[in-house]
Amino acid sequence: MILVVNAGSSSVKVELFSTDLTSVIAGSVTEIGGAGELRLGTVRRAVSAPDHDAALMALLDALAQAGHPFERITAAGHRVVHGGTDLTRPVRLTPAAIGAIRDCIPLAPLHNPHHLAGILALAQRAPDLPQCASFDTAFHATNPAVATTYALPPDLTAQGYRRYGFHGISYASLVAALPQRTGQPLPQRLLACHLGNGVSLCAIRDGRSVATTMGYSPLEGLTMGTRSGSIDANAVLAMAAAFGIDETGVLLNNRSGLLGLSGGTSDMRALLASDAPAARFAVDHFVYWACRHAGSMIAAMGGVDAVAFTGGIGEHAAAIRDRIMDGLAWAGPVPHHIVPADEERQIAADTQRLLEEG
């Protein structure tokens, strides 16, 4: 069996897959460092998890109690947000690969350290267990330089100030799943829309990313749940001067987006159900910028043959999908599809393929 691990800032999620990539059981520990809660299948209980190591060990113990002992796990696959310019495909986790993930910490200081904690905790528990990693940035490594390069002096670009793009594991999963769902070949020019608390679009031509809306960080691009999306850099500098760098970071990443516009919630279901003017405006803002950025993605592909929606909003908010498709009516009759997000299965598939390659 393959164990998929997704270690976040205050949580660890796991999912166990059989060799045919069927999901066996999923669980999580949330509120690490606080009033931790463990969920595994139908089990739900308080747990002491002062750090990520303790959270992962608690999940492994719970899996064993549920009839899935650690000895049956043949490999582990990890979600890693940032692979930088070197880790551009899923990899077996060697000391060199782990070092490369560590080198990317400055690019993803809120994510990569926690991914490493999960990797190292498993390595300590079972040094001989094969471990692999899939990267959210890797799918966009096929973007041309003209798409990834900010108009900065080359010495700054060489220091890593460039567009990377994110949600890549989701997009890779979508590319694999869409032909299976439709029974048709993958559209040549596919506009993929990952709409959730994090929001991005991807221009996929012949199965490869040629442009995406997120950039140096997941902050760039569309209106999101709590992130502002793209904003003039001089406005950011003015905020930093007025409020300080740390407070500006919190403002743009955690207090903006749908939450900031509505003044109360980032939940699209609540916003769609509300008659409050601020809620209606937040929804309008979300749709407007999705359509506007979609035009950019379509231009990067030289047209569009189909649109695919994934993510919580993309899968479940029909009103949002309809409004976005109405906003793209200028592109002509274009079919659209719903593809449930399944990043964990994609990571399991990546891990299985790497093991088969040896």
DSSP letters along 169-198, please? Answer: HHHHHHHHHHHHHHSSPPPSEEEEEEESSS
Query: What confidence score (pLDDT) does residue 51 get?
Result: 86
Mean pLDDT of 112-125: 91
Q: Is residue 29 located within the same domain as residue 121?
A: yes
Chosen domain end from 72, 104, 135:
135
Q: SS3 for 319?
A: helix
Q: Is 104 a domain residue?
A: yes
Answer yes or no: are the C-beta atoms of 107 and 80 closer than 8 Å: no
Examine the pLDDT at 358 and tell me if it is beyond 80. Answer: no
Strands of the 91-92 sheet, one edge to the other: 43-46, 37-40, 23-30, 12-17, 2-7, 75-80, 131-135, 91-92
Question: Which 8-state DSSP code applies to residue 166?
Answer: -
Q: Is 64 a domain residue?
A: yes
Token pair, residue 262, equals 């509505």
Query: What confidence score (pLDDT) does residue 30 get?
Result: 87
Token pair, residue 295, equals 């035009």
Q: Is residue 116 located within the same domain as residue 193?
A: no
Answer yes or no: are the C-beta atoms of 218 and 227 closer than 8 Å: yes
CA–CA distance, 162 with 100 (Å, rounded to integer): 18
Positions marked active-site: 136
Per-residue confidence at 286, pLDDT binned at 50, 70, 90?
Answer: very high
Q: What is the pTM of this model?
A: 0.94
Q: Is residue 205 located within the same domain as residue 290?
A: yes
Mean pLDDT of 151-179: 96
What pLDDT digit, counting tens, does each position of 35-70 carry?
889 999 888 989 888 888 888 999 999 999 999 999
Mean pLDDT of 211-220: 96
Examine the pLDDT at 129 and tell me if it is beyond 90. Answer: yes
What pLDDT digit, counting tens, does each position of 61-81 carry?
999 999 999 999 999 999 999
Q: Is 220 a domain residue?
A: yes
Q: Is residue 206 located within the same domain as residue 111?
A: no
Percentage of the chain lying above the pLDDT 70 cut: 100
Q: How many CB atoms lie within 10 A of CB 238?
A: 12
Query: What confidence score (pLDDT) does residue 49 get?
Result: 86
- Residue of higher predicted confidence among 34 and 223: 223
Q: Is 87 a domain residue?
A: yes
Mean pLDDT of 172-183: 96
**Given the structure tokens 């041309």, which residue do they identify?**
144
CA–CA distance, 25 with 23 (Å, rounded to integer): 6
Q: Please tell me the total number of residues recorded for the chain in this structure.
A: 358
Give the domain extent around 313: 183-338
Q: What is the CA radius of gyration of the chain?
A: 20
**Is 258 exposed, middle or buried, given 0-12, 13-18 or 19+ CB atoms closer than 10 A?**
buried
Mean pLDDT of 103-123: 91
Q: Is residue 248 located within the same domain as residue 316?
A: yes
Per-residue confidence at 136, pLDDT binned at 50, 70, 90?
Answer: very high
Query: What confidence score (pLDDT) does residue 34 get?
Result: 84
Q: Is residue 124 located within the same domain as residue 33?
A: yes
Angle between helices 277-301 and 318-327 (to 10 degrees): 50
Token pair, residue 167, equals 């949600």
Percentage of the chain lying above the pLDDT 90 cut: 88
Per-residue confidence at 9, pLDDT binned at 50, 70, 90?
Answer: confident
Q: What CATH number should be reported for the domain holding residue 126?
A: 3.30.420.40
Instruction: Work out how many domains the chain is built from and give that number.
Output: 2
Per-residue confidence at 8, pLDDT binned at 50, 70, 90?
Answer: confident
Token pair, residue 148, equals 């990834």
**Average pLDDT taken over every residue of the chain:** 95
